[in-house]
Structure 1
């Protein structure tokens, strides 16, 4: 008999994550424009008004795992969401650009803690035999927010009415807190058998590093660092690429198709991963994502971006939850929080620094050359995956 996946707490965890990510995408889409119009900020400062959130999240990921283990997953989740609600409301009276930037940093830090806590709790709720399937279902809430958040931000901010965006964000934050109040998350379990029989790191620096970084998560997390870097080229430059090619509406079409492909992959591929093993899904996912990125180099016509969106969406939508499931299965329960924090820290580094690195390539190779380069990078990532995990991944027989 298959272990039960759809419990009350698992559904509540999905709902909490959905509302958290709705706030993320609502404000990431509109914050730069708000800074420009409300405070007449320079382009660089307006850009930081958006990206400061990511900086705050990146910093909090360093300490999230340690805090979850010391304080508890549910306590950290509720405390972080209280800050999340408060900051969402404080955007409205914020009267200076400096205060806005501080709020964005704090908001990002609260997001990093809350997201790590609810993701760690959700992973603890998923039966190990259905790890990838459950991870895919949980990650679908992020995909829905990816589609709805930017759309609602544009709708609410019509006519520069940004207060509507802030009030709606505050409502979503309050909804996340309300759902989390009813959520009961399992805390870490110290009884992990042989996996816990490991020596204590020697030296203060080694102990501090072990408290914030899970070494067993780093090899596979390096895959999502590269994937995040490659995908940041789409997030940051596709709109400009489409406009420069005379097809400005193609970018919106790509993201719509991409979100649909991601959702389909996350609802369907998890069971295959659980039954057939890591390599059966990871190798095709990496290859399909690489092809999807390279297809963008062929142009930005509706047909081209539709094909690219399907391929890259299915590839990216598969490799992220499946790689997360691999990381979770590689660590003992007491290190789950630190492993999840390490995983998303690497992902944030890739998506955060990717636009800077790829932005240096665009003047030299153009947008088409940049997308060819990201496709080649993901082909190389297949070799990286083989080196760090694929050659030793459990076989189908070993997983049965």
Structure 2
């Protein structure tokens, strides 16, 4: 009976709205990685600069996240969220009017700033609207918005021309901006600590899960940048379905995670999910058929989806209400750093050993996740 009430209490108006808004802004963001590099290449961009399209955005995001988290904790959510959404609309639309490589890199930097502000805010607002005892289940359901966007957005981006993609991405965020006015922002416990006492923009309790997420997204950064090139090398077309099944894998697993974590703890999910991710990357490393690629994408989606939910929940579940902005900023700093670092290190490794072996080597990242989690699990239980 109690569990039923807890489940119903998650689905408030605010929670549903912020989940839809999060889906829309993630759709915008996820449309750019697979489509922007080929567009810049068509404008004459050299191969060695294409990886930096994501790198520039990552640097901008890493710079702005801690400040956006601190500002939200100090002054509230609505203003900073609206600013991030407006800047995301403008910067997404700016690509349409600027077919010049140098300007595109400048816009991509601003795009990264907008994304850092908007996504930190949306995740913090979601956290505000989930009760502590419902946090694992609530974050699992909220993460479905990311899963859906991860499957839908790349497929849309690859099915339309790039100019139309810029307009579509802007339209997604415009709808999100309008929906934000329907959210009821409750009175918030703001950070009232005296200005003479410095308040860290990062949350110490969130550093470990943020680092573990960094290791996870390093592998995803490699996949989103190089899986299409690996498929082309193997003579396999229509690789967009890889991302669709990756999203399906996340969608299938996430609704069950909250209940499993509540009953059995985080370790029961984290260790098997990391093992499954190892298997997925090893299959990808040895893939020579379309079926093998799709199998890898599905298994990776299950593992990635479960780990993302666990680490994001761990980053916020034990922090004070006036530190949730900093906690989300800390978590997503790890998330974004992994995405940027992944494409760079994967490019370096693949240049030496090839795409196939590179994915095999990156499976070791999940071995490290298992070891680090098992060594730190006692400390995590104490914090919880």
TM-score w.r.t. length of structure 2: 0.90
- Report deviation, 1:200: 9.6
Q: 2:211 and 2:127 mapped to 1: Cα distance? A: 20
Matches within 5 A, 1:24-103: 24-37=29-42, 39-94=43-98, 96-103=100-107
Structure 1: give runs of 5+ residues left out of the alignment. none
Q: Is the 8 A contact 1:22 1:146 kept in 2?
A: yes
Query: What is aligned with 1:324?
Result: 312
Q: 1:97 and 1:371 mapped to 2: Cα distance? A: 30
Cα gap change, 1:246 to 1:318, in 2 (>3 Å)? same
- Report deviation, 1:352: 0.6
Per-residue CA deviations over 1:91-120 (Å, capped at 9, x if unaligned) read 333364333322221121111111101101
Query: What is aligned with 1:236?
Result: 225
- Report deviation, 1:264: 0.9
Cα gap change, 1:241 to 1:46, in 2 (>3 Å)? closer
Residue 257 (structure 1) aligned with residue 245 (structure 2): yes
What value does the CA root-mean-square deviation take over the aligned residues?
A: 2.6
Match of 1:391 among 368, 378, 382: 378
Matches within 5 A, 1:1-400: 1=2, 2-3=5-6, 4-37=9-42, 39-94=43-98, 96-157=100-161, 162-186=162-186, 188-189=188-189, 207=198, 210-249=199-238, 251-388=239-376, 390-394=377-381
Q: 1:285 and 1:264 mapped to 2: Cα distance? A: 13
Cα gap change, 1:103 to 1:363, in 2 (>3 Å)? closer
Structure 2: give runs of 5+ residues left out of the alignment. none
Q: 1:278 and 1:40 mapped to 2: Cα distance? A: 48
Q: 1:151 and 1:277 mapped to 2: Cα distance? A: 35
- Report deviation, 1:64: 1.7
- Report deviation, 1:393: 4.2
TM-score w.r.t. length of structure 1: 0.87
- Report deviation, 1:56: 2.1
In the alignment of these two chains, the number of paired residues is 379
Cα gap change, 1:40 to 1:328, in 2 (>3 Å)? same
Q: 1:49 and 1:309 mapped to 2: Cα distance? A: 24
Cα gap change, 1:187 to 1:298, in 2 (>3 Å)? farther
Task: Single out whichever of 341-350 and 356-365 deviates more from structure 2.
Answer: 356-365
Cα gap change, 1:225 to 1:50, in 2 (>3 Å)? closer
Per-residue CA deviations over 1:294-347 (Å, capped at 9, x if unaligned) read 222222313322332232211111010111111111211111100110111011
